[in-house]
């Protein structure tokens, strides 16, 4: 029998029994290595398991990621859960099915290739009864490593994959049972952290006497500029934390950049420069060159619910419950900071409010651990305040993109020059030698915040994600300037650099199309060779009823944008319809997406709809506010997001390709939606807004440019 190449994370976590357990009640528990953060991914992985095991989807139960039992499949990021976690589960379950077929053939005395499986029953058409997986448990050993012995099922046999079965996580969400915030452990105490007033503040003095006199206060933990309180009840912890702030004195420095001149700040910082692409050829055609600059402000994750964690130090072991997207890396970071062995720490995932990116989930886990280790035997629950969430979470970096390009007399782009300035994007735990968790920087050890990193471009990149246009240009140079300072804490936010890079590229494509006197859709098509890219553009044009060379009436307009996420993931084309009056309103968004094999159509639709809404909110409203010393966006009034009444109508065309690998959808629409809105504003009123967000102020500024 020939063997098959196994997925990366199955090779590194190859024991079959680690992923699948057969229960006495004839259900099956699977253990994915990817976490549920609202995207429905574990339900899709359950569909894959049901398909390969050839059992009813209703029999599948899902165990949350737990470092003591689950496979380590890295962070749940980058729209790669199906490629990584789903494919590992697919091949593992194919091998398990093969092992049971071997045992069934021996039990029934029949050739293995003559047997069939229906809902876990192995049978032959010519005999009256079969044998179930559960009947064969004593004959099958799952404590073996995957070795590529079995082929996954063919797409033309799928019964569960490709159908919109109910998600496994919805009932517990509705009842509240899923959420970390609602977990209660016996003897649990409550903690709060009294954060410094600003990023670089240092504690001068603190009088703890009034706090210790408060009812319910169990302990005050102070280490350097870190101050935490532990109390009997949560409201006592909040009151104690507020009093700590009144009884503390801090030194602060006005070291933040001018919020209203971020472009100048970024362009004058020391950088590390990388040439991402450089190709050149000669061209004799007449050229017409233009140039433009695009900017994005700092963005917050703005999770609806605040970050939360539970920690329990007992019997020389630390247990932590977290809604982190990086459970194993969080464990490793905690071990490093707390000077514990990895086996002394168990981190268990529990659902929190979704954020799509690195918010405060990992930081609050360290907060809880630091307090719990001072309360031996008592679990401690720590929840951030809304002000903590806005002031201390890692932000999506501000970015500047400069573009210059030329078109010839035939309407083809002959030159493309692109430069990007901003922080790198990945500050998640476990990536740097120095601690990447907030409280570590305030402890008396004096640890310094590390600069964020980027993954290699071949692995999806960070600030350079989607920086290289997917179009065909004879002359093209793309340079990334990573700034070497971090005035505001930065890390991963949905789509990372792809959001801004695609916004700039697709806005500039429209500017060049105008220079070439070409329709924006046709202009893109003439610069594409990938048939799947061409297909999504044609599909969205048909769905939206795109009118060639349509001119807006001063208030209504349409705009188009395209991207292939990471230049290796899903293909997305977007057309936005806007209405411009006192402000820009997005009325409709049409999307065509090709993400290869679709596991759950409804799940794909949900992810696209969520991505459209979040990207529209960034495009129209979101901008972090700060002065020269402090973050000033501390609530929803200071950081408005899209409201329910402002949500656009979304129409989606799914292009299913069962013979192609599934390539993820969660972040694919983020950049194209922003660009399509900007292009629609130009179509409506002839004004190019290059500075995000497209707020009233920025539209007025663009009108005067």
Among the candidates 120, 146, 175, a domain finishes at 175
Q: Do 97 and 194 belong to one domain? A: no
Within a domain: 472: yes
Please give the average per-residue pLDDT across 562-566, as a whole number: 98
At 236, is the pLDDT very low, low, confident or very high (cuts 50, 70, 90)?
very high
pLDDT value at residue 318? 98
This prediction's pTM: 0.96
Q: Do 612 and 467 belong to one domain? A: yes
Within a domain: 277: no
Among the candidates 323, 356, 383, a domain finishes at 383
With contact defined as beta carbons under 8 Å apart, do 553 and 527 qualify? no
Positive/negative CA dihedral, 252, 255, 257, 258: positive
pLDDT value at residue 171? 86
Q: Do 220 and 123 belong to one domain? A: no
Please give the average per-residue pLDDT across 48-71, as a whole number: 97
Within a domain: 272: no
Supply 479's token pair.
């340079």
Q: Do 64 and 197 belong to one domain? A: no
Within a domain: 287: no
At 283, is the pLDDT very low, low, confident or very high (cuts 50, 70, 90)?
low
Please give the average per-residue pLDDT across 255-269, as a whole number: 95
Q: Domain residues for 161?
A: 8-175
Among the candidates 359, 383, 407, a domain finishes at 383
With contact defined as beta carbons under 8 Å apart, do 16 and 85 qualify? no
pLDDT value at residue 671? 98
Q: Do 204 and 152 belong to one domain? A: no
Q: Do 353 and 494 belong to one domain? A: no
Q: Do 145 and 224 belong to one domain? A: no
pLDDT value at residue 574? 98
pLDDT value at residue 434? 85
Q: Do 375 and 406 belong to one domain? A: no
Contacts of 214 (CB under 8 A, 6+ apart): 231, 236, 239, 240, 243
Euclidean distance between CA atoms 47 and 53, whole angstroms: 10
Supply 315's token pair.
């019997």
Q: Which of 134, 131, 479, 464 is nearest to 273 (CA)?
A: 479
Could you give the 3-state DSSP secondary structure of residue 439? helix
- The percent of residues in the chain predicted with pLDDT above 70, rounded, is 99
Q: Do 132 and 152 belong to one domain? A: yes
* Helices 361-372, 327-338: crossing angle, 10 deg rounding: 40
Supply 331's token pair.
């464990």
Q: Which pLDDT tens digit goes with each residue over 522-549?
A: 999 999 999 999 999 999 999 999 999 9
Q: Do 683 and 634 belong to one domain? A: yes
At 39, is the pLDDT very low, low, confident or very high (cuts 50, 70, 90)?
confident
Euclidean distance between CA atoms 11 and 84, whole angstroms: 11
- Average pLDDT value over all residues in the chain: 95
Residue 284 predicted with pLDDT over 60: no
* CATH number of the domain to which 690 belongs: 3.30.365.10
Euclidean distance between CA atoms 321 and 76, whole angstroms: 16
Within a domain: 265: no
Euclidean distance between CA atoms 105 and 100, whole angstroms: 8
With contact defined as beta carbons under 8 Å apart, do 447 and 427 qualify? no
Q: Do 657 and 530 belong to one domain? A: yes
At 4, is the pLDDT very low, low, confident or very high (cuts 50, 70, 90)?
confident
Contacts of 546 (CB under 8 A, 6+ apart): 521, 540, 558, 560, 575
Within a domain: 436: no
Which of 32-46, 462-476, 533-547 is least confident? 32-46
Residue 626 predicted with pLDDT over 90: yes
Residue 159 predicted with pLDDT over 90: yes
Domains held by the chain: number: 3
Q: Do 528 and 619 belong to one domain? A: yes
Supply 618's token pair.
């960034």
Within a domain: 394: no
Q: What b/e string do you get for 271-282 counting C-beta neighbours within 10 Å, with b at 16 or more?
A: beebebbeeeee
Within a domain: 155: yes
């Amino acid at each position: 029998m020939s063997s098959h190449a196994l997925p990366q994370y199955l090779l590194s976590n190859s024991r079959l029994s680690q992923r699948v357990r057969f229960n006495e009640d004839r259900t099956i528990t699977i253990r994915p290595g990817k976490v549920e953060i609202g995207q429905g991914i574990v339900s899709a992985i359950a569909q894959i398991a049901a398909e390969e095991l050839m059992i009813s989807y209703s029999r599948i139960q899902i165990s949350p990621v737990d470092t003591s039992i689950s496979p380590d499949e890295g962070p749940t990021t980058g729209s790669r859960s199906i490629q990584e976690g789903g494919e590992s589960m697919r091949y593992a379950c194919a091998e398990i099915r093969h092992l049971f077929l071997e045992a069934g053939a021996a039990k029934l005395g029949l050739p293995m290739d003559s047997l069939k499986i229906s809902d876990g029953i192995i049978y032959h058409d010519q005999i009256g009864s079969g044998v179930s997986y559960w009947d064969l448990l004593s004959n099958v050993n799952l404590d073996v490593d995957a070795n590529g012995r079995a082929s996954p099922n063919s797409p033309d046999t799928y019964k569960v994959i490709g159908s919109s079965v109910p998600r496994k996580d919805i009932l517990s969400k509705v009842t509240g049972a899923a959420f970390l915030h609602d977990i209660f452990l016996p003897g649990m105490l409550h903690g709060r952290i009294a954060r410094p007033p600003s990023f670089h503040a240092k504690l001068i003095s603190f009088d703890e006497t009034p706090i210790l006199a408060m009812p319910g206060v169990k302990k005050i933990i102070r280490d350097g500029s870190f101050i935490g309180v532990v109390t009997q009840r949560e409201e006592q912890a909040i009151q104690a934390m507020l009093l700590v702030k009144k009884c503390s004195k801090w030194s602060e420095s006005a070291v933040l950049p001018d919020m209203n001149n971020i472009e100048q700040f970024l362009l004058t910082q020391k950088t590390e420069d990388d040439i991402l692409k450089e190709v050149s050829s000669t061209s004799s055609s007449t050229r017409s060159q233009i140039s433009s600059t695009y900017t994005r402000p700092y963005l917050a994750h703005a999770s609806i619910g605040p970050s939360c964690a539970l920690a329990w130090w007992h019997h020389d072991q630390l247990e932590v419950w977290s809604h982190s997207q990086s459970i194993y890396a969080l464990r490793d970071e905690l071990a490093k900071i707390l000077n514990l062995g990895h086996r002394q720490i168990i981190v268990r995932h529990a659902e929190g409010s979704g954020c799509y990116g690195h918010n405060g989930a990992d930081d609050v886990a360290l907060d809880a651990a630091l307090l719990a280790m001072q309360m031996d035997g008592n679990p401690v629950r720590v929840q951030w305040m809304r002000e903590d969430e806005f002031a201390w979470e890692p932000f999506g970096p501000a970015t500047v993109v400069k573009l210059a390009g030329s078109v010839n007399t035939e309407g083809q782009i002959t030159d493309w020059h692109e430069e990007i300035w901003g922080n790198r994007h990945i500050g998640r735990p476990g990536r740097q030698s120095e601690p990447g968790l907030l409280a570590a920087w305030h402890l008396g050890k004096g640890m310094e915040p590390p600069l964020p990193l980027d993954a290699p471009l071949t692995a999806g990149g960070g600030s350079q994600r989607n920086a290289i246009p997917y179009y065909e240009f004879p002359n093209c140079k793309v340079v990334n300037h990573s700034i070497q300072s971090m005035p505001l804490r930065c890390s991963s936010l949905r789509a990372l650099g792809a959001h801004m890079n695609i916004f700039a590229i697709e806005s500039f494509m429209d500017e060049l199309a105008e220079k070439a006197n070409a329709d924006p859709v046709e202009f893109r098509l003439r610069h594409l060779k990938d048939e799947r890219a061409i297909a999504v553009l044609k599909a969205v044009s048909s769905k939206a009823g795109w009118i060639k060379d349509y001119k807006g009436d001063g208030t209504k307009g349409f705009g188009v944008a395209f991207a292939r996420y990471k230049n290796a993931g899903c293909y997305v084309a977007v057309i936005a319809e806007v209405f411009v009056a006192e402000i820009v309103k997005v009325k409709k968004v049409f999307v065509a997406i090709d993400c290869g094999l679709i596991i759950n159509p409804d799940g794909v639709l949900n992810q696209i709809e969520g991505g459209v809404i979040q990207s529209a909110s960034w495009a129209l409203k979101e901008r972090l506010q700060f002065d020269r010393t402090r973050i000033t966006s501390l609530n929803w009034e200071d950081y408005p997001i899209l409201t329910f009444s402002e949500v656009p109508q979304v129409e989606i065309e799914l292009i299913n390709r069962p013979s192609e690998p599934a390539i993820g959808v969660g972040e694919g629409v983020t950049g194209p939606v922003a660009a399509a809105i900007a292009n629609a504003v130009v179509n409506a009123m002839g004004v190019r807004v290059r500075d995000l967000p497209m707020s009233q102020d920025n539209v007025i500024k663009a009108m005067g440019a």
